């Protein structure tokens, strides 16, 4: 067979199995090659029965000592027991609903058994072991790959297709990694690597092969991001001749911090040099990133051009309009809002005004990306809280004008190596200074015993005219024993019946959620119980108390983001994290937040304690999905791959000498985002 052949032609895989395989993304043998094992079972080590370890999967060679006995436990549940022994001792095997085992195991014959071992009543039990006669070495005596499955598929189906795929790999299979990179890293030829990852002889081989493929994934991504960047920096940026900001500075009710000034200067320098601006502004919550956006929008308008700010939610867009519109209009710059929930006529009017150039600055949600929205002359695009948007959405926005300057704002502090991957196409400015006079948020890590006092404190905050956030990890009650938002809202309504309490979570309809958030912002709600939906950039200065239930099950960076919802006004603000009574580990993590307010310190601590997974988890990060690489465990490989990509592209920016690699990168990014490499 050939790599391009469909898997349904593999022996033992009919059209039915082929359909299931398609669910795993496997259509051709080539896809099967790229379906890597998600782990391995080391069945090469034979353990004497006496040395077995409780709770681990192990392999023994043992002789069947008696005929297997099957007992009918209840409807649909037969249990087969069998005692086996080796020189060191005896072991009980237990199978569930396994007629095959009962019929096959022969007394006096030696088999290799592989399965999970438990200690029960002083003896060892092996649960539902896989077995075969000693010496057969099909399922034992080797490293067995474990493939991802879907209902109806078995490991042996995956063995079949990967066997066929490996047999189809030609000797001259092209390698995406350039030879120089391979040599430097000491990688084996790709054909060998594929055999080693699917059929390793030992665990070391499996690990090395895996590392090689992870490297390739990171390498391709890094090259892709560098490519994006090179494409942009080779271009002309929109020309803005007048870069003076004095009028804006005079119109502000405060003076900018040094960090804000530096960020703005970095932007104007790029623009003055004739380059398209591609810059990420990273700054902790409340550091004043919006002012950098304001400065750029102002410059666009001042030069007779247009600017757009795109925020991830309607509420945030509305908040931006509320702060920026009065400021910019004072300077003679017209502003408009464009969000999905606006009426058709309102929308039509604003779209028309954008197209005619009557409006200089538009603030909105992804509604701005709609095909029907056109600009008269877009020169500056700002994307707020970017980790909610993908690389391709950035590209869609800048495609609405010519040589558009791009500013991305993010409040998620992420470690440098990851930032270079995710934002590899952007320059970075960090705002590492908060506006003066910010009061410190008093933070407490508490246990269950404090609940009555905290409830009373919530009540007192409301009595003093303040508002309160209560954040929970779950929407409804599950089995995890965690506190749900629904339950909490109910409980608080019982304890504080005289307070206006509302509930929002991910399952609340978008329109209703926006309404509740707007009510809360307007002070019509005292206590807002929610899940982390309120995490992003909401600004309600009158809210001065944040209570987080089960604080121990959030990442530190996330808790820090949540804390950033308070401390935005004149009131002394407080933050309370429950969960400090859940063990030393939980207490130490929460104490980090009590002791520091610095987002980067917290991010670093978070990384040390939980790995990079926390920065991503299920959250979108705007990159093509990765097959094998694990952003938590493979940071060192990421760093090496990124350096290698940097080196290669510095010598050969257009990859003229690496056509195979170039084609592969273009395919990767094309699949993922329409034309995002161009």
Q: Which CB sits closer to Mg ion, 537 or 579?
A: 537
Q: Which CB sits closer to ligand ADP, 287 or 532?
A: 287
We find the least distance from the C-beta atom of residue 521 to ligand ADP, in angstroms, to be 13
Which one of Mg ion, ligand ADP, none is in contact with 283 (Cβ closer than 5 to 8 A by kind)? ligand ADP
**599: contact with ligand ADP by CB under 6 A:** no
Q: Which CB sits closer to ligand ADP, 546 or 645?
A: 546
Q: How far apart are CA 560 and CA 411, in angstroms?
A: 10
Q: Which CB sits closer to Mg ion, 160 or 289?
A: 289
**435: contact with ligand ADP by CB under 6 A:** yes
Which one of ligand ADP, Mg ion, none is in contact with 291 (Cβ closer than 5 to 8 A by kind)? ligand ADP
We find the least distance from the C-beta atom of residue 559 to ligand ADP, in angstroms, to be 16
By beta-carbon distance, which residue lies closest to Mg ion? 537
We find the least distance from the C-beta atom of residue 321 to ligand ADP, in angstroms, to be 13
Q: Taking CA 498 as the corner, what is the angle to CA 492 and CA 503, rounded to the nearest 5 degrees?
A: 45
Which one of ligand ADP, Mg ion, none is in contact with 435 (Cβ closer than 5 to 8 A by kind)? ligand ADP
We find the least distance from the C-beta atom of residue 647 to ligand ADP, in angstroms, to be 35
Binding mask 197-236 for ligand ADP (x = CB under 6 A): ----------------------------------------
We find the least distance from the C-beta atom of residue 539 to ligand ADP, in angstroms, to be 6
Please give the DSSP secondary-structure letter assigned to residue 7: G
Sign of the dihedral through C-alpha 146, 147, 152, 156: negative
What is the bridge-based pairing of β-strands 57-64 and 39-42?
unpaired
Q: How many CB atoms are closer than 10 A to CB 80?
A: 21
| Binding-site member from 224, 283, 466, 473 for ligand ADP (CB under 6 A) | 283
Q: Which CB sits closer to ligand ADP, 129 or 567?
A: 567
Q: How far apart are CA 668 and CA 648, in angstroms?
A: 18
Please give the DSSP secondary-structure letter assigned to residue 619: S
Q: Which CB sits closer to ligand ADP, 205 or 260?
A: 260
Nearest Cα residue to 33 out of 186, 196, 205, 153 = 196
Q: How far apart are CA 350 and CA 296, in angstroms?
A: 21
Residue 567 Rama label (left phi>0; alpha psi -120 to 50; beta): left
What is the bridge-based pairing of β-strands 527-530 and 574-578?
unpaired
Nearest Cα residue to 639 out of 430, 428, 422, 420 = 420
Contacts of residue 244, Cβ cutoff 8 Å, sequence gap at least 6: none
CA atoms within 13 A on the CB side of 319: 19
Q: Which CB sits closer to Mg ion, 61 or 279?
A: 279
Q: Which CB sits closer to ligand ADP, 158 or 259?
A: 259
Region from 122-130, 278-286, 308-316, 472-480 binding ligand ADP, contact rule CB under 6 A: 278-286
Which one of Mg ion, ligand ADP, none is in contact with 288 (Cβ closer than 5 to 8 A by kind)? ligand ADP
Q: How far apart are CA 502 and CA 596, in angstroms?
A: 31
- Reduced to 3 DSSP states, what percent helix, strand and coil does the chain have, rounded to the nearest 5? 40, 20, 40
Which one of Mg ion, ligand ADP, none is in contact with 237 (Cβ closer than 5 to 8 A by kind)? none
Residue with tokens 């599950």: 478
We find the least distance from the C-beta atom of residue 384 to Mg ion, in angstroms, to be 6
Q: How far apart are CA 48 and CA 85, in angstroms?
A: 10
We find the least distance from the C-beta atom of residue 311 to Mg ion, in angstroms, to be 8
Binding mask 285-304 for ligand ADP (x = CB under 6 A): xxxxxxx-------------
Write the CA distances from 547 to 421, 457, 530, 566, integer angstroms: 34, 11, 11, 10
**256: contact with ligand ADP by CB under 6 A:** yes
We find the least distance from the C-beta atom of residue 305 to Mg ion, in angstroms, to be 23
Please give the DSSP secondary-structure letter assigned to residue 338: E
We find the least distance from the C-beta atom of residue 289 to Mg ion, in angstroms, to be 5
Residue-wise burial string across 455-489, b where 16 or more C-beta atoms lie within 10 A, e elsewhere: eebbbebbeeebbbbbbbbbbeeeeeebbbbbbbb
CB 1 within 8 A of CB 167: yes
We find the least distance from the C-beta atom of residue 34 to ligand ADP, in angstroms, to be 41
602 phi/psi in degrees, rounded to 5: -65, -40
Binding mask 525-554 for ligand ADP (x = CB under 6 A): --------------x---------------
We find the least distance from the C-beta atom of residue 290 to ligand ADP, in angstroms, to be 3
Sign of the dihedral through C-alpha 95, 99, 104, 106: positive
Footprint of ligand ADP on residues 406-425 (CB under 6 A)? 411
Q: Which CB sits closer to ligand ADP, 252 or 660?
A: 252
Q: Which CB sits closer to ligand ADP, 253 or 452?
A: 253
Q: Which CB sits closer to ligand ADP, 14 or 258?
A: 258
Q: How many CB atoms are closer than 10 A to CB 176?
A: 18
We find the least distance from the C-beta atom of residue 95 to ligand ADP, in angstroms, to be 59
Sign of the dihedral through C-alpha 240, 242, 246, 251: negative
Q: How many residues interact with ligand ADP (rule CB under 6 A)?
A: 15
Q: Which CB sits closer to ligand ADP, 385 or 459?
A: 385
Region from 62-70, 281-289, 478-486, 513-521 binding ligand ADP, contact rule CB under 6 A: 281-289
Q: Using only the alpha carbons of the chain, give its radius of gyration.
A: 30
- The full length of the chain comes to 678
Q: Which CB sits closer to ligand ADP, 178 or 564?
A: 564
Binding site for Mg ion (CB under 5 A): 537
Q: Which residues contact ligand ADP (rule: CB under 6 A)?
A: 254, 256-257, 260, 283, 285-291, 411, 435, 539
């Amino acid at each position: 067979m050939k790599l391009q052949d469909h898997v349904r032609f593999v022996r033992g895989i009919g059209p039915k199995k082929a359909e299931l395989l398609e669910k795993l993304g496997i259509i051709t043998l080539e896809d099967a090659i790229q379906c890597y094992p998600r782990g391995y079972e080391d069945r090469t080590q034979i353990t004497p029965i006496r040395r077995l370890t409780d709770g681990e999967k192990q392999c023994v060679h043992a002789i069947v000592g008696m005929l297997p006995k099957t007992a009918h436990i209840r409807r649909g549940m037969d249990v087969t027991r069998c005692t086996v022994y080796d020189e060191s001792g005896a072991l009980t095997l237990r199978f569930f609903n396994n007629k095959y085992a009962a019929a096959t195991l022969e007394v006096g014959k030696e088999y290799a058994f592989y399965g999970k071992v438990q200690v029960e009543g002083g003896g060892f039990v092996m649960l539902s072991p896989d077995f075969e006669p000693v010496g057969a070495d099909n399922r034992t005596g080797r490293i067995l790959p474990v493939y991802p499955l879907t209902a109806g598929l078995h490991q042996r189906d995956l063995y079949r297709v990967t066997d066929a795929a490996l047999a189809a790999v030609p000797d001259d299979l092209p390698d995406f990694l350039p030879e120089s990179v391979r040599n430097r890293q000491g990688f084996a030829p790709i054909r060998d690597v594929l055999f080693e990852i699917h059929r390793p002889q030992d665990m070391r081989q499996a690990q090395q092969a895996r590392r090689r493929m992870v490297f390739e994934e990171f390498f391709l991504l890094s090259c892709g991001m560098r490519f994006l960047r090179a494409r942009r920096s080779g271009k002309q940026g929109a020309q803005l001749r007048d870069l003076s900001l004095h009028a804006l500075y005079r119109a502000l009710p405060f003076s900018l911090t040094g960090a804000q000034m530096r960020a703005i200067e970095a932007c104007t320098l790029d623009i003055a040099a004739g380059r398209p601006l591609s810059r990420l502004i990273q700054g902790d919550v409340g550091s004043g990133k919006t002012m950098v956006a304001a400065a750029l929008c102002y410059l666009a308008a001042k030069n007779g051009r247009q600017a757009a700010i795109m925020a991830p939610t309607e509420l945030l867009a509305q908040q931006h309009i509320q702060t920026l519109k009065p400021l910019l209009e004072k300077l003679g710059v017209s502003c408009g809002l464009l969000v999905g929930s606006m009426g058709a006529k309102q929308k039509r009017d604003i779209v028309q005004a954008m197209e005619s150039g009557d409006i200089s600055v538009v603030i909105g949600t992804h509604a701005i990306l709609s095909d029907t929205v056109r600009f008269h002359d877009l020169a500056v695009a700002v994307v707020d809280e970017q980790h909610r948007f993908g690389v391709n959405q950035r590209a869609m926005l800048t495609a609405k004008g010519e040589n558009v300057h791009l500013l991305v704002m993010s409040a998620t502090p992420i470690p440098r190596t990851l930032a270079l991957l995710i934002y590899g196409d952007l320059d970075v400015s960090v705002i590492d200074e908060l506006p003066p006079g910010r009061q410190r948020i008093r933070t407490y890590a508490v246990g269950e015993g404090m609940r009555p006092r905290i409830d009373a404190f919530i009540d007192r905050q409301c009595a003093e005219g303040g508002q309160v956030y209560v954040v929970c990890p779950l929407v409804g009650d599950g089995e995890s024993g965690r506190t749900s938002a629904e339950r909490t809202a109910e409980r608080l309504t019982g304890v504080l019946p005289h307070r206006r309490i509302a509930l929002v979570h991910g399952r609340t309809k978008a329109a209703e959620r926006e309404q509740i958030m707007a009510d809360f912002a307007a002070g019509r709600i005292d206590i807002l119980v929610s899940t982390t939906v309120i995490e992003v950039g909401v600004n309600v200065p009158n809210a001065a108390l944040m209570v987080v239930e089960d604080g121990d099950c959030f990442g530190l960076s996330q808790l820090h983001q949540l804390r950033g919802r308070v401390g935005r006004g004149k009131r002394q603000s407080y933050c309370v994290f429950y969960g400090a009574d859940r063990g030393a580990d939980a207490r130490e993590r929460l104490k980090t937040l009590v002791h520091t307010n610095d987002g980067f310190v917290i991010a670093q601590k978070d990384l040390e304690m939980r790995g990079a997974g926390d920065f991503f988890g299920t959250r979108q990060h705007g990159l093509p999905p990765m097959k094998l690489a694990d952003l938590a465990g493979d940071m060192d490989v990421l760093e090496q791959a990124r350096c290698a990509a940097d080196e290669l592209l510095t010598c050969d920016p257009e990859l003229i000498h690496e056509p195979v690699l170039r084609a592969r990168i273009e395919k990767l990014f094309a699949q993922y985002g329409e034309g995002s490499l161009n």
